[in-house]
Amino acid sequence: MTQSDQYNFAYLDEQTKRMIRRALLKGLAIPGYQVPFASREMPMPYGWGTGGVQVSAACLTPEDTLKVIDQGADDTTNAVSIRKFFERTAGVATTEHTPDASLIQTRHRIPETPLTQDQILVYQVPIPEPLRFLEPRETETRKMHELQEYGLMHVRLYEDIAQHGHIATAYAYPVRVEGRYVMDPSPIPKFDNPKLGDCPAIQLFGAGREQRIYALPPYTQVVSLDFDDHPFDPSKADHDCALCGAADSYLDEVIVDDRGGRIFVCSDTDYCAGRRAETGGPE
Amino acid sequence: MQHATTLQGGFADAAPDAARAFRAAMTAMARPGTIVDMAGATPPAPLSVAAATLLLTLADRETPLHLAGRHDTPDLRAWLTFHTGAPLVAAADAMFALGDWAALQPLHGYAIGRADYPDRSATLIVECDDLSPDGAHLTGPGIKDSATLSLPEIAAFQANAALFPLGLDFFFTAGAQLAALPRTTKVRAA
């Protein structure tokens, strides 16, 4: 598909892109701090990645190769429609292969294949404020970030331990960036949290409805919150992938019949397909 | 003919030129010490190609701009106003400031952000004679182990980093090259 000449390159007008670009630069200069930006209405509903799409639109160049994943998969509705959106409005090349991509927009996963310093990872974020479910008022959460008043978050994690015996938060697990801002890593499984820190790629986060942009420069220190006697545990399902046999990747549980049969398969479809192609396993 | 030079020198193809320039600027800001190529604009003297390209990429009617020292000329004012529309203001009101290192002083005259909105701080575009990957020793976010970059001085950037999460962010430009130093970078003499 070629670029439609009905739209400006990458859909957004230049004034909007400049505004987003300025927010991205301030975000990179203050890692983990949520920069307000004037989010635009996009031709897709809130919750479908409008923040990520605006960040991608501000970053894409004609030479880029774009990959879009939704929960690790390249072939789900959200991923396919965003990929088509940029094929039509920016005319960029697209790929499903992680190493071939220069910009990856993701909903709720970090690819299993390690990222490189030539890549940018753009996260779609629903609720950027990690303290929002503890304190609904923006005026108060802003003050809490200002004062580094993060005790409430530790109380929440402690209550998990008191009730369940372990920290039950399994996704959107809060992290502290460079010892300063507590940040919501978007609803990625906590299995992915260790990949946030010391990452060679630039990581950008866009929340469209909530009008926030934040960022992690490469090689930033990112620590998942925990306690000395309850250290962070990036757990996953206690299985190997039923398709490729990977023991080290994040798994989805899939129901395969109406008699309760179920298998665990890699959530990262490209990683799984790549491993099967290497070993000659099932297609 | 002054009018003609004012109208010329912008991006040939605004959207892709600005996109490439932004990616270079983002690479520089995300990886302090990295020197990137920055070209596309053809400004009147004494503005460098890199600084002009950066301003065309980031500045518009919403970004008050301060011109310091020898960069505050009628030609440059006219050129920047035509191509960006940025209001030209005093240092204290500026989101962007442009000039030589000496002309940009004193640094305490610029907005460093507020404790609740640290992003409301000025970005300084420092015109340099040249940029080279040697000199000050840099560590911090965006830097794998350490990096080196030619900086106009050391103490000012140490004082700026001490303000974190407040502080100024810097771009350094020379010819068609650009580097950056966010407030997070720890600087010491080599």
The structure's pTM equals 0.96
pLDDT tens, residue by residue, A2-16: 556 678 999 999 999
Tokens of residue B56, six digits: 């065309």
Residue A249 and residue A264: Cα distance in Å, rounded? 11
CB-CB under 8 Å, A219 with B142:
yes
Per-residue model confidence (pLDDT) at position A281: 59
Per the CB < 8 A criterion, the answer to whether B124 and B104 are in contact is: yes
Q: Which residues of A touch B95 (CB under 8 A)?
A: 22
Q: Which residues of A touch B29 (CB under 8 A)?
A: 25, 28-29, 217
CB-CB under 8 Å, B15 with A9:
yes
Domain count, chain B: 1
Residue A209: count of CB within 10 angstroms of its CB: 15
Tokens of residue B41, six digits: 């604009």
Per-residue model confidence (pLDDT) at position B5: 81
Q: Is B129 an interface residue toward A (CB < 8 Å)? A: no
* Shortest Cα–Cα distance, A51 to chain B (Å): 18
pLDDT tens, residue by residue, A171-217: 999 999 999 999 999 999 999 999 999 999 999 999 999 999 999 99
φ and ψ of A182, to 5 deg = -80, 135
CB-CB under 8 Å, B63 with A25:
no
CB-CB under 8 Å, A217 with B15:
no
User: Among candidates B35, B38, B48, B66, which has minimal Cα distance to B135?
Assistant: B35
Q: Is B121 an interface residue toward A (CB < 8 Å)? A: yes
At a CB cut-off of 8 Å and minimum separation 6, what does A278 contact?
none
Mean pLDDT value across residues B90-109: 97
CATH of the domain at B124: 3.40.50.11310
Tokens of residue A79, six digits: 């991923």
pLDDT tens, residue by residue, B39-48: 999 999 999 9
Report the relative pairing of strands A65-70 and A120-124 from DSSP bridges.
unpaired
Q: Is the pLDDT of residue B62 over 60?
A: yes
Q: Is B21 an interface residue toward A (CB < 8 Å)? A: no
CATH class of A3-224: alpha beta
Instruction: Quickly tell me which residue has 């990295």 as its tokens.
Output: B34
Per the CB < 8 A criterion, the answer to whether A171 and A89 are in contact is: no
Tokens of residue A123, six digits: 């996260």
Element (H, E) at A69: strand A65-70
Interface probe with B: pick from A26, A120, A131, A183, most Cβ of B within 10 Å: A26
pLDDT tens, residue by residue, B127-181: 999 999 999 999 999 999 999 999 999 999 999 999 999 999 999 999 999 999 9
Q: Which of residues 133-162 of A touch B (CB under 8 A)?
A: 142-143, 145-146
**Domain, as residue range, for B92:** 3-188
Residue B190 and residue B184: Cα distance in Å, rounded? 18
Per-residue model confidence (pLDDT) at position A6: 76
Mean pLDDT value across residues A89-108: 97
Residue A152 and residue A158: Cα distance in Å, rounded? 10
Q: Is the pLDDT of residue A143 over 90?
A: yes
